[in-house]
A and B are shown apart, each in its own frame.
Chain A
């Protein structure tokens, strides 16, 4: 839905569409349970990162496994800033993390954009591996392997007053972070929807499909690829910042290879290079534990056994492989395929 909107209509329409969809999402959080609210909050944060990765892989054809590393940079920036400036509004944390994510993306892009395909994937993988040990070692800044803790994103009093009943505060404190995450995601999606239709977006697709043609029409390959990389890293930084705000903590172990693989899986499952694909990927992240427990029930695996504990990795890895081999355009692609089938 989002994609057709962004293709056919001007910026003003995209703005209205974003506001309406965001309002609908916010309205939904009012009727959800506190548990669902916090799941949705994580999904919204994750969808920002997925969107950034989707932009990089889908639109510029650069496969990066480094976005978990950029998430870590955003996550730590937020934690360190929030601990030194406890009263500063979260918008500053989000802004700083996005900028630092982008800046570190720029540094990595200098060599990365010269590489193609497997070289790039391998280099960013190596970067992903390097982040956690660095974070563990810089103890004075990052709190070492124990990580850092910040205050929870508790609801302001005016928001809490909207609710009544015995567990009003519980509901308000669960919903407020979700609503913040949804608004932040809406801004990120709006920006990306415009980027998709922009000159840069078109140039990027041309660079992906035919470098020579792109150069002939005057596209600067290096600059375009670097810009794509920087924006993707900035989105990862923003998402990482949101993750820290939501969980109230950051640990180096969170941001390793497993997360990079999960990001890739969610993006491919949703649909590479689409806005709606990133939303679907975020929703799958929200309810990934539910999906795994369904698999648990169907297969009769004991969730507390060692096999059950690792089922998530197996299920999502298998889903990634199957999607890539059988339906590389993901659920979004499946949706448009079904639509065409119905119309015929």
Chain B
């Protein structure tokens, strides 16, 4: 009995971390957009899903998985750039609720567009890696090659983004444009372009997450809804400003939800996210991982 429980706990830890990794990735993409344009992209999950449909649907027509993945990410990036230019740019300087409402409307449009173009395919999107747990001398080792792929992909993307923002000139410019747009403009930084680039980067990352979520699953327009909510909670608890906070909170939420799912009830899991958010934000309204910022009058 003891070993059974231990193996169940271990399975939950690995499964939770794998889910958490994807949640963290989307949370990170939300933070990138928030940092560059101070918009919370409510359509992030749906946009990623749209791009996933464009690219990954071709797998069913015999195209290579990796080629489709690349195609999806490129589609996501284009969609992100266009969205920033067309929907977000006219709203800079408008009241806070305008971009919120517009992005919620966009979320509705995209989900309806996906459902209207692609009939829900009941075949699963095949995974390039096996989802069957490793076996060793009759014992199951709780990890599948797919989980390795998932976690490795997320780790690579996170490291690449960290390097981009910390080590390159472009990353420095992006941070400057977000932090002090007026000063950056005076110093010759093309702020407008960099904001668009922030969106392109973010939706690219979001699409990657959507592809990973959908791999080994049925492609459905609402695949990302639950995950997006978890990711938002992670980003908010982390403080929306902090990439590291978003990642840590994302992993924590993945673990929490997995344990609640396994030991308590499936239906409580979404509510547990709300509770985590409430507790997190009551402790520190500005997020657990940001320095205190006072609002000026």
Q: Which residue of A lies closest to B277 (CB)?
A: A123
Chain A interface size band reads 35 or more
**1/0 contact string of A311-344 vs chain B (CB within 8 Å):** 1111011101100110010000000000000000
Does A61 sit at the interface, judged by CB under 8 A? yes
- Contact assessment for B282 and A111 in the assembled complex, using a CB-CB cutoff below 8 Å: yes
- Contact assessment for B273 and A126 in the assembled complex, using a CB-CB cutoff below 8 Å: yes
Does A299 sit at the interface, judged by CB under 8 A? no
Does A191 sit at the interface, judged by CB under 8 A? no
- Contact assessment for A321 and B87 in the assembled complex, using a CB-CB cutoff below 8 Å: yes
Q: Looking at the complex, which of B72-80, B104-112, B122-130, B184-192 is the stretch in contact with chain A?
A: B104-112
- Contact assessment for A310 and B116 in the assembled complex, using a CB-CB cutoff below 8 Å: yes
**1/0 contact string of A111-138 vs chain B (CB within 8 Å):** 1001111110111011101100110111
What residues of chain B lie closer than 8 Å to A138, measured between beta carbons?
267
Chain B interface size band reads 35 or more
What residues of chain A lie closer than 8 Å to B116, measured between beta carbons?
306-311, 314
What residues of chain B lie closer than 8 Å to A313, measured between beta carbons?
108-109, 111-112, 115
Q: A126-B274, A325-B91 are in contact. Are A265 and B105 (CB under 8 A)?
A: yes
Q: A111-B281, A126-B229, A136-B267 are in contact. Are A119 and B236 (CB under 8 A)?
A: yes
Shortest CB-to-CB span from A119 to chain B, Å, is 6
Q: How far is the CA of A30 from the CA of B277 in the complex (A)?
A: 50
What residues of chain A lie closer than 8 Å to B97, measured between beta carbons?
57, 61, 63, 117
CB-contacts of B78-108 with A (<8 A): 87, 90-91, 94-98, 100-102, 104-108
Does A195 sit at the interface, judged by CB under 8 A? no
Q: Which residue of B lies closest to A322 (CB)?
A: B105
Q: Which residue of B lies closest to A124 (CB)?
A: B274
Q: How far is the CA of A206 from the CA of B292 in the complex (A)?
A: 26
- Contact assessment for A321 and B42 in the assembled complex, using a CB-CB cutoff below 8 Å: no
Given contacts A122-B277, A307-B116, A325-B98, 19 further A-B contacts (CB under 8 A): A61-B96, A111-B277, A114-B282, A115-B281, A116-B96, A121-B42, A123-B277, A126-B273, A129-B225, A129-B226, A133-B269, A133-B271, A134-B268, A310-B116, A313-B111, A317-B107, A320-B101, A324-B102, A325-B102
- Residue pairs across A and B with Cβ atoms less than 8 A apart, 7 shown, are A115-B281, A118-B96, A122-B236, A123-B277, A125-B232, A130-B270, A324-B105
